Structure 1
Amino acid sequence: MKRSLIIIFSLFSLLTSFAACDKDDSTTNNPDVGTNNGNTNANPTGSKMKIIIGTRTFTATLYDNATATAFKALLPITVNMNELNGNEKFFDLAASLPTNASNPGTIQNGDLMLYGSKTLVLFYKTFSTSYSYTKIGRIDDVTELAAAVGSGNIRVTYEVE
Structure 2
Amino acid sequence: MRRNVSAPALLAAILASVSALHAAPGPGPRTPGPKTEKAPAMETVQIRLGTANGESVTATLGGGASARAFRALLPLTVELTDFNATEKIADLPKRLATEGEPPGVDPEPGDLAYYAPWGNLAIFYKDFTYSRGLVRLGRLDRIPDAFRKSAPVKVTIEAVP
State the one-letter code of the partner of 2:85: G
Q: Any gaps of 5 or more consecutive residues in structure 2?
A: 1-40
| Distance across 1 between alignment mates of 2:61 and 2:43 | 6
8 Å Cα contact 1:45-1:61 kept in structure 2: no
Match of 1:140 in 2: 141
| Distance across 1 between alignment mates of 2:120 and 2:129 | 19
Q: Any gaps of 5 or more consecutive residues in structure 1?
A: 1-42
| Distance across 2 between alignment mates of 1:95 and 1:77 | 12
Match of 1:3 in 2: none
Supply the RMSD in Å over aligned alpha carbons: 1.8
Match of 2:57 in 1: 58
Dislocated runs of 4+, deviation >6 Å: none
Give me the identity figure in percent: 34
Q: Which digits, 9 at most, give the CA deviation of each residue in 1:37-85, with x for residues without a partner?
A: xxxxxx7633100011232111101101111111111111111112111
State the one-letter code of the partner of 1:129: Y
8 Å Cα contact 1:44-1:62 kept in structure 2: no
- With normalisation by structure 1, the TM-score equals 0.64
State the one-letter code of the partner of 1:51: L
8 Å Cα contact 1:51-1:157 kept in structure 2: yes
Match of 2:158 in 1: 159
Matches within 5 A, 1:8-157: 45-53=43-51, 54-99=53-98, 100-105=101-106, 107-116=107-116, 118-142=119-143, 145=144, 147-149=145-147, 150-157=149-156
State the one-letter code of the partner of 2:135: T
